[in-house]
Structure 1
């Protein structure tokens, strides 16, 4: 565009100049070789312009002829390079699509048309084609060759890192990641792997420095950096809690300041404060975490913050937590446990039932079983509650990558990923949960017991008897009725196996010739 404007400007200037000469007629006299030449001023100007144009045209022709061999060679070289890049582009697309044969073919074609030292992507295409063909050893050699080229070094380290990850060699993978992180700290994959290695070694200070470097270079946003820093500080505080209490307290308090709702940070900070007998500040720390996310460990530490408190004082502290987070199963369970310790069985039973209504879980049924055993000692009712606990969903726990842990740890033991554990119910026993849901709708639970554990039955009815559970509100007295005759009359037909629960040991196998048959009852 600028050239066009410049050309138009030159033409406009020439037009103005010729118009100016046309308005001012005159003659120009030139004496050369004893002769005198006289022409008009306009003719002289045209002759001068024509001469300049002729010289420029002649110069262009001479220059074009002189440079024609180079221009022709450059034309063919550019065409060859374009074909090579086209082949390289097609090969990279084929490698991304998983077509190893086409990627290898285009890689060879590109290597013939383009020098590999001029285009490093040819090495990458060769390595990708080798991986698609299953030649991992060849691909590894390609990546190792890239380490000698400063431009390809990071790419080679990335390839070797992925190959080490594929083989499960965590030490080699972290070695390559460390080299990459030292050369280019902005690489997220290298920094993450290096941090996992530091956490596995327990080098918390180096891991925290790496988090600060990521935050300063804006590799991660501020919220994610604060979360990662709180996790590392919590792990550091737990590791140094016994050996260096002052350092642990400082780290725990900083972690709690960064993430007040993070229960592991609040717990370790409160433990550090309770060691210094600062119960008031520790209680406030736990209360803040409880309001954000109720956790049983927070409740347990809060209720037993003062070891010398009476059971009624601990019950009052549990009720205080319940006031902070009403209509929550963890609040009801905390009060129920404290009431059981205080032997207030009525309150404990009401709160446990309320927790079950809000969130049916295994721990609530187990707590009800403890209450029933402590209050009445009714073995049948206790076993019925234990049966419900077996079929109920599991209590929340720290879960990461399929691993269920009773306590929080900073990294996954399977993948090494930092901050992988989440407080949630484990996804297990799906079939039992479905069976339990159907069972709760159709009929009460069935317990298989031996004849010795059942209530007395008349001798003529012992062989095939069924014990029916009493209806709600009735006294606990079983009713005995005759069981229906089996559909088959053949004595040789084997009896169908009675279902029993996992907590029922069942009956030991008997020898028909030596051991007499034992009766079994079904408790509905």
Structure 2
């Protein structure tokens, strides 16, 4: 475009010049060696311009002839280089696609057309070809040579790092990542890997310092860097909570400034304040975080902030959470649990059913079962709620890479990824309930079995027992070969009489002597002494067993 503009300007300048000379005619006389040449001004100007163009053409022609061997050599060299780069490009594509045969063929062709010291990508193609062919030792040697070359050091270190990760050599991978960060701190993969390794080793100070360097160098986005730093500070605060509550509080507050919705940081800050007996600031932190994101762990920490509070005090704190975030399942469940502790079953049931209508989950059904057990104790109604709990979706939990944890962790135990845990339902429950045929919240409440009508219970009558006294009769039974069991009663001994046949003597005595009403020592009431088990035993003569 610029050349075309310059050509147009030059053409216009020449045209304007010739037009100016045409408007001003004149003669030019030249005398040279007794020769006089006379011509017009226009012809002289045209001749001068033509002479200049002729000289330029002759100079170009001479220069072309003089440099033609070099031009021809450069042409063939460029053609060879283009063929080499074409082979290199084809080989890299084949290696990426897993075509080992074509990659090896193109690698050999590229090495024949290009010089390896001038084109480092040939080493990369050879290393990738060796990797897809299973020659891992050769590939590792090629990556080590690339790591020694300043031009390909970063590429070689990344290849060695990936090979170490593939083989499970985590210590070697960590060393390669550390070396890459020292030589090139702007590499995102090296920075992220180093952060993960330092975090796994619990080196939170080094991890935070490295993250700050990456943030200044614009290697990591500002928003991502702030989130990761908040996670690292929360992890450090968790470790320092027992030994240094003040330091843990400062770290947790700094984490909350970077990530306002980080629930674990708020809980750590609140616990640190509670260890300092500063209930007001602990409640302020939890309330601020509750307004952003209601969480059951926040509710538990807030309601049970003071261990000496009564159930009524905990209910008041739960009601305050509900006022901050009304019509929320977590608020309703917090109030329901606190009302259950105060034996306010009606309110607990109402709040739990309202939470169930908003978000059916396993814990809500279990809470309703607890309310039913403590209020009515009806097994049918309890089994109804437990049956629904088995079919209901699971509660949200901390999930990272398919791993479900009861508490928040800064790193994934599966992959070691930083800030991997999220509060959500486990993946296995996304499709639907565990069992088919589960009822909706409204149906579950409507199908609750009714309470059985109470049956009138008659008070038991107290029977009056009258002791019957019969005279004891001694009957001698000879049993020479076996010991006999005798009854000693009133200093008289009588052997045990066999059961089955009535004794005619006893019957005769009973018939002759009529029964007399015996005195009741307890006046018709049960004995006050708990040791007396039988009324007859209390009034009967003393009896003991004697084994002969």
Q: TM-score, normalised by structure 1?
A: 0.77
Q: What is aligned with 1:190?
A: 190
Question: Could you tell me how far apart the structure 2 residues matched to 1:23 and 1:276 are?
Answer: 107
2:530 matched residue in structure 1? none
Q: Please give the alpha-carbon distance, in whole angstroms, between the structure 2 residues aligned to 1:256 and 1:144.
A: 44
Larger radius of gyration: 2
Partner residue in 1 for 2:450: 472
Are 1:136 and 2:136 matched, yes or no?
A: yes
**Partner residue of 2:497?**
none
Question: Quick one: distance in 2 between partners of 1:343 and 1:258?
Answer: 42
Distance 1:300 1:53, change over 3 A: closer
Instruction: Provide the residue aligned with 2:545 in structure 1.
Output: none
Residues of 2 paired with 1:147 and 1:324: CA distance? 59
Matching of residues 125-524 of structure 1 within 5 Å = 125-428=125-428, 433=433, 435-436=435-436, 438-440=437-439, 472-475=450-453
**Normalising by the residue count of structure 2, what TM-score does the alignment of the two structures yield?**
0.74
Q: Is the 8 A contact 1:311 1:342 kept in 2?
A: yes
**Is the 1:470–1:476 Cα contact (8 Å) retained in structure 2?**
no
Write the distance in 2 (CA, Å) between the matches of 1:367 and 1:2: 81
The corresponding residue for 2:495 is none
Change (3 A) 1:44 1:264: closer
Partner SS, residue 147 of structure 1 = helix
Q: Which runs of 5+ in 1 are unaligned?
A: 446-468, 478-524
- Aligned partner of 2:35 in structure 1 is 37
- The CA distance in 2 between the partners of 1:141 and 1:411, in whole Å, is 33
CA distance in 1, matches of 2:103, 2:189: 26
Contact 1:391 1:432 in 2 (8 A): no
User: 1:26 aligned to 28, 31, 44, which one?
Assistant: 28
Contact 2:267 2:286 in 1 (8 A): yes
Distance in 2 between the 1:51 and 1:253 partners? 86
| In structure 1, C-alpha distance between the alignment counterparts of 2:352 and 2:44, rounded to whole Å | 116
Instruction: State the alpha-carbon separation in 2 of the partners of residues 398 and 412 from structure 1.
Output: 11
Task: Compute the displacement of 1:217 (Å).
Answer: 2.6
**Is the 1:185–1:191 Cα contact (8 Å) retained in structure 2?**
yes
Q: Distance in 1 between matches of 2:6 and 2:353?
A: 91
What does the per-residue CA deviation read over 1:473-509, in whole Å, with 9 as the maximum and x for residues that have no partner? 54489xxxxxxxxxxxxxxxxxxxxxxxxxxxxxxxx
**Residue-pair matches, total:** 447
Please give the secondary structure, in 2, of the residue aligned with 1:26.
Answer: strand
After superposition, the Cα gap between the structure-2 partners of 1:297 and 1:26, relative to the gap in structure 1 and judged at 3 Å, is closer
Q: Which residue number in structure 2 is paired with residue 499 of structure 1?
A: none
CA distance in structure 2 between the aligned counterparts of 1:159 and 1:171, rounded to whole angstroms: 15
Give the SS at the match of 2:175: helix
Unaligned runs of 5+ in 2: 456-548
Q: Structure 1 stretch 226-235 or stretch 374-383: which is displaced more?
A: 374-383
Separation in structure 2 between the aligned mates of residue 274 and residue 123 of structure 1, nearest angstrom = 61
Question: Match of 1:254, SS?
Answer: helix
Call closer, same or farther: CA 1:343–1:50 in 2, change over 3 Å: closer
Deviation at 1:59, TM superposition (A): 4.5
Decide whether the 8 Å contact of 1:28 with 1:44 is kept in 2: no
Q: CA deviation at 1:68?
A: 2.5
Q: CA deviation at 1:119?
A: 1.0
Question: Could you list the per-position Cα deviations for residues 53-75 of structure 1 after superposition, in whole angstroms to 9, with x for gaps in the alignment?
Answer: 66655544444333322222111
